[in-house]
Amino acid sequence: VSAIIDVDIVPEAHRRVRLCKHGSDRPLGFYIRDGTSVRVTERGVAKVQGIFISRLVDGGLAESTGLLGVNDEVLEVNGIYVQGKTLDQVTDMMVANAHNLIITGAATVDIQSSLSLIG
């Protein structure tokens, strides 16, 4: 059973998703990678390191929810911010919480398209 959690207040561009295995052998069904994201900061647009969903597994929980997608940025795992953490650290956090995993994420915008719209 998986769900989008609406009890917590998160920015409109973010979503908090719970993946619960409930004794199932079904995999969570996604892989992560590290990479670069572009964010608007007080100093303007900046490139920052982040963790992203790299692949969804057919038939996995993540795919079946329709709430997570390839290239979505992972911002939190069970309420812990992942910024500044290594890929191995975030993987360990997810494995440790695999039976009740809560991911706060944001859909990634295609930067080239966004920049062409800006001018």
Q: What is the CATH number of the domain that holds 80?
A: 2.30.42.10
Residue 25 lies in a domain: yes
Amino acid at 89: Q
Instruction: Examine the pLDDT at 116 and tell me if it is beyond 80.
Output: no
Residue 33 lies in a domain: yes
45-87: per-residue pLDDT in tens? Answer: 888 899 999 999 998 889 988 889 999 999 999 999 999 999 9
Number of domains in the chain: 1
- CA pair distance 53, 78, nearest whole angstrom: 16
- CA pair distance 19, 28, nearest whole angstrom: 7
What does the DSSP assignment read for 12-77?
TTEEEEEEE-TT------EEEEEEEEEEEETTEEEEEEEEEEEEE-TTSHHHHHT---TTPEEEEE
Residue 64 lies in a domain: yes
Position 119 scores a pLDDT of 47
Residue-number span of the structural domain to which 40 is assigned: 2-108
Position 110 scores a pLDDT of 55
Query: Mean pLDDT score of the chain, rounded to an integer?
Result: 83
Residue 27 lies in a domain: yes
